[in-house]
Amino acid sequence: MSQSWPQGLAPDQNQPETEYGQTRPPLSPWSSPVALSPDAASFSAPQEKQEHAPREGGIVSALLNLSLPRRARRPRASARRESAGSDNSVFSDTGRSMRRDSSVASESDGDIEKGHSKHSYRDKVMLRRGRKRREIVRHVESYVRRQKFILKLAKTLLTFGAPSHRIESQLESASAILKMEARFVHFPNLIIVTFLDSETRTSEVTFVRAGGRVALTALNNIHVIYRDVLHDKLSASEGTEELNKLLRSRPLYNIYVRCLFAFTCASIICVLAFGGSLLDMFISGASASVLQYLGLRAAAKSSIYANVYEISVSIIVSFLARVLGSVPGEIFCYSSISSAGVVLILPGFTILTSALELASRNIMCGSVRMVYAIIYTLFLGFGLTIGSDFYLLFNPEARHVQAATDRLEAHTYHGAIIGNNDSLPLAQLSGTFSFTDVGQTASHVIKGCYRDPQWPWWRQPFPWWTALFLVPLYSLCSSLANLQAVRSIQLPIMVAFSCAAYAANRGANVLISDRPDIVSAFGAVIIGLCGNIYSRIVGGTAFTSMVTGVLFLVPSAIGNGGGLIQSYNTSSQQYSNSFDLGIRMIEVAIGVTIGLFAAQMTVYSMGRRKNAGHFAF
């Protein structure tokens, strides 16, 4: 079948035909020979390029140009003149658009480097992020070795008490930089890891289960290994070996040294937070050391005793405190001894972790920890009630000791009251009358303990200036009790941050004494700013430098609220007080959570973007 062509548009008979029997158009000066190749692979790239090239036309052409960068430069005048003089206007426009795309692509990089504002802010940020994306180049490992490193990292983070709301983000950052498709689901003491293979369309699910307590030196070493592997300073196999060494290593201090740390911490917190005297200080320290020994020796070896460990130690501490508190003369204070004796097993850190997880939208893990912490607090209150009532069974007279506290400043008279000149009829009364200055007596009760000003100094609470050396000493012993190495640059930094948080908490308590959440938020903001600035500028580990100060906020806020145990009334009231303690700790945890997140947002809103996961609260 013959085809007729208009005059002047008939194709050249000497041009070769394509495999489909069509005649190729003449090449334009700007056209590429690769774009006219009959090969299917070579056709794909130029077609995609022409699809994004700007076209001159109507509304449809304008809509197709939306994917281009804004404010693209106009074609040069020489290109327009050359296109105007060309024979074929269609291919001239195509060639001009190709040259314009290349000029925009080549000049955009230079303009972004020079800081010009010609392009949009989003284009600049996306280009810079693409350039600064970390990749493993020098220490390339096999898939199996990278997989082992991810699993070992998950186990060490669970074992040494890493911040649970940051574990998933850290593992996701590690898998992304190591070029692995993995998904993570974190539960208390459990991480579910799924490795995906897009080529074979298969997946491998691994359960990583571990449990432990906070070990500051080990956490700092984990963060250093994690950072070295992601920064291509250490291979994945070498990082796995270093993590195995941490798992096999023994604790830095033996059990007796750790009991000594517990004695010092409980003694100091009895004075600072619960209004104890010098005598109460040593008794509460001895109770805490016994508690620590049972936890490290008996509960670690017997799974049966581990289930009733908290209840048993609270019964022992409460029984001992009630025995000493019933001594005539108010020599010992039951409230300060019982509160400071069990302060080391309070679930304050657990409640704080659950609040952080709930704020991070980790609803499953956060709600589970929150409910566990509240029930755990009720267990402690139950144990304290049982220990106190158990002693009262053998000594019923001790029930009146607390009531006698209000009668220490009373003046007793024997006689009768006769109404001689009164406006109302008054019946004649005779007997024993006690007159008490209620305001003066209440002013002598300090955090649940009665302190007569006439008593000697060793029965009085410590003056305010003793906090200048007691707070650093407590921070030092608390850091060492959490397995921080003595010869470490992190240790003085922890002590300094903890002292700053306590000072902010104490100052806020003077101004706002009836809001423990707001008071704790002030201290959390200070320690959050210190820890994140230290990590951002110096390059240290923010979490380990902040743990001591954050743990200091919980007993301090509880002590400002009156301690764990108030004056004894009945068993039901004592049990309800333990529930009030759980609500008080939740309020403190909410304040600390808001303060820590506000500090982190303030610090990381300025400066460059952080590539790896945050290792902080």
Q: In which element (H, E) is residue 433 found?
A: strand 429-435
CB 94 within 8 A of CB 50: yes
Three-state DSSP state, 371: helix
Give pLDDT < 50 ranges for the chain: 1-2, 8-9, 13, 15-25, 27-57, 60-64, 66-118, 130-131, 406, 409, 561-562, 566-569
What size, in residues, is the chain?
617
- The one-letter amino acid code at 112 reads I
Pairing of strands 411-417, 202-209: unpaired
Three-state DSSP state, 424: coil
Interval 181-232: pLDDT, tens: 999 999 888 999 999 888 888 889 999 998 888 899 999 899 899 989 988 8
Q: How far apart are CA 356 and CA 360, in angstroms?
A: 6
Torsion 390-392-395-398 (CA) sign? positive
Report residue 128 CA to chain centroid gap: 29
Pairing of strands 202-209, 190-197: antiparallel
Report residue 48 CA to chain centroid gap: 47
User: Which residues, listed in sequence order, are joined to residue 413 by a DSSP beta bridge?
Assistant: 433
Interval 368-389: pLDDT, tens: 888 888 888 888 888 888 888 8
CB 480 within 8 A of CB 532: no
Residue 235 corresponds to which tokens in the numbers above?
């291979």
- Phi–psi pair at 41, nearest 5 degrees: -65, -35
- The one-letter amino acid code at 230 reads L
Please tell me the predicted confidence (pLDDT) of residue 77: 46
The angle formed by the CA atoms of residues 464, 467 and 473, to the nearest 5 degrees, is: 165
Provide the CB-side half-sphere exposure for 375 (13 A, CA): 6
- From the list 284, 347, 291, 286, the residue with the least C-alpha distance to 314 is 291
Pairing of strands 449-450, 445-446: antiparallel
Three-state DSSP state, 377: helix
- DSSP of 209-237: E------HHHHHHHHHHHHHHHTTSS-HH
The domain spans of the chain are 32-80, 143-248, 255-405+471-604
Please tell me the predicted confidence (pLDDT) of residue 122: 58
Provide the CB-side half-sphere exposure for 553 (13 A, CA): 40
Three-state DSSP state, 387: helix
Q: What secondary structure, in 3-state letters, does 4-23 show?
A: CCCCCCCCCCCCCECCCCCE
Q: How far apart are CA 14 and CA 485, in angstroms?
A: 87
Neighbours of 302 (CB within 10 A): 11
Helices (H), 38-142: 40-52, 59-64, 77-84, 89-114, 121-132
Q: How far apart are CA 343 and CA 591, in angstroms?
A: 20
Q: How far apart are CA 257 and CA 532, in angstroms?
A: 31
CB 127 within 8 A of CB 109: yes
Report residue 261 CA to chain centroid gap: 25
CB 342 within 8 A of CB 313: yes
- Judging by beta carbons within 10 Å of its beta carbon (0-12, 13-18, 19+), is residue 144 exposed, middle or buried? exposed
> Considering just the CA atoms, what is the radius of gyration of the chain in Å?
37
- Phi–psi pair at 560, nearest 5 degrees: -65, -25
- From the list 586, 553, 563, the residue with the least C-alpha distance to 339 is 563
Three-state DSSP state, 193: strand
Residue given tokens 């020599």 in the structure block: 331
